Amino acid sequence: YDFTADDLIDEGVIGRGNFGTVNRMIHRESNHVLAVKRIRSTTVHSEERKRLLRELETVMSADKCETIVRFFGALFYEGDCWICMEIMDISLDKLYKNVYKTGHRVPEPMIGYIAVATIQALNYLRQALKIIHRDVKPSNILLDRHGMIKLCDFGIAGELVDSIAKTQEVGCKPYMAPERVSMMNTPYDVRSDVWSLGITLFEVAMGKFPYSNWNTAFDQVDQVVKGEAPMLCVNTPDNFSIELVQFVNSCLVKDRDQRPRYNDLMTKQFYQLYDLNGETLAMALFRQKDRNISDRLNDYCNMTSAGLTFF
């Protein structure tokens, strides 16, 4: 995968983040379609670049896990860093908002398959690559119409963003665990990502972020560190199963030491209910195991790709 920016045809923006845009691009020679994340990185020095490229090699070795987005490489162009990755149809934040816009809710099995895929990816990163993700949130979980569910934006992207944004305000990272908000300098623990996963699943299940608006970093400390943890309930019009409720709430235990790790989550009923035992959801859907999910996924992805054309 040796190519430069000139080998890519820009087809326009498909998403915007804090540090730049993500564009759909086509590799001229192969006609391969990519998602290219362009990060303004005029502040990244050449020493830093070398380190980042070394790091990228680690990230690219994650190609044995089917729930992690493929990376094709990074290049520097006019002071920007371009991260080239596999393109997916939609991110989970957009998907769930589309669903709620039409008055529906994300079906519980879909929440289950998303939870299982994300935990498998996080566990693989940790076990095989010794990487902690640090930025688990709905926009970093990507899906396609066939039922592939993949985690992105770990490793290089996170490192790069960190080096650009050392001064970033706490309030900009709403999925952060209480212990991260209050003790930012302590070593990162996987259980902080478990919290972020809990917030993510809560948000997708309820259709909204669990905390009210934050205007300052103080508001975040007030609510996340001093306030009660968000809690899903069984007795709501949503009719969540007890398995879902227990699973999400266990991720949202405020005391980090009481919070489960990935191995603990994998023993829970909710996880086992939607564990496809190595098979991807796409493969399971291909065998027509769940028409309902299959049809809905297609609808949700189509809604957004139509919207994206006019972005």
Binding residues (CB under 6 A) for ligand ADP: these are 14-18, 22, 35, 37, 69, 85-88, 91, 94, 139-140, 142, 152-153
Size of the site for Mg ion (CB under 5 A): 2
- Characterize 169-183 residue by residue with b for buried, 16 or more Cβ atoms within 10 angstroms of its Cβ, and e for exposed: ebbebbbbbbbbbee
Minimum CB distance to ligand ADP smaller for 22 or for 252: 22
Minimum CB distance to Mg ion smaller for 140 or for 294: 140
> Least separation, in Å, of the C-beta of 17 and ligand ADP?
2
Minimum CB distance to Mg ion smaller for 151 or for 285: 151
Locate 153 and state its tokens: 């934006």
H or E stretch covering 27: strand 20-27
According to the binding rule CB under 5 A, does residue 200 interact with Mg ion?
Answer: no
Beta bridge mates, 10: 25
Binder to Mg ion among 66, 86, 89, 153 (CB under 5 A)? 153
Strands 8-17 and 20-27, bridge-based pairing = antiparallel
According to the binding rule CB under 5 A, does residue 179 interact with Mg ion?
Answer: no
Is 302 within 8 Å of 296 (Cβ atoms)? no
CA distances from 17 to 13, 38, 165, 237 (A): 11, 10, 13, 34
> Least separation, in Å, of the C-beta of 187 and Mg ion?
23
- Which listed range, 76-84, 150-158, 167-175, 200-208, lies at the site for Mg ion (CB under 5 A)? 150-158
16 binds, among Mg ion, ligand ADP, none (CB under 5 to 8 A by kind): ligand ADP
Minimum CB distance to ligand ADP smaller for 150 or for 259: 150
- List, by residue number, the catalytic residues: 135
Binder to Mg ion among 140, 196, 220, 280 (CB under 5 A)? 140
Is 284 within 8 Å of 147 (Cβ atoms)? yes
Q: Which residue's Cβ has the minimum distance to Mg ion?
A: 153
For the chain, helix, strand, coil in percent to 5 are 45, 15, 35
226-231 long-range contacts, CB within 8 A, separation 24+: 229/253, 229/254, 230/198, 230/199, 230/202
Q: According to the annotation, is 37 in a ligand binding site?
A: yes
- Which listed range, 44-52, 95-103, 108-116, 148-156, lies at the site for Mg ion (CB under 5 A)? 148-156
- The rounded distance, in Å, linking the Cα atoms of 44 and 51 is 11
Residues at the interface with Mg ion (CB under 5 A): 140, 153
Tell me the binding residues.
37
Tell me the binding residues for ATP.
37
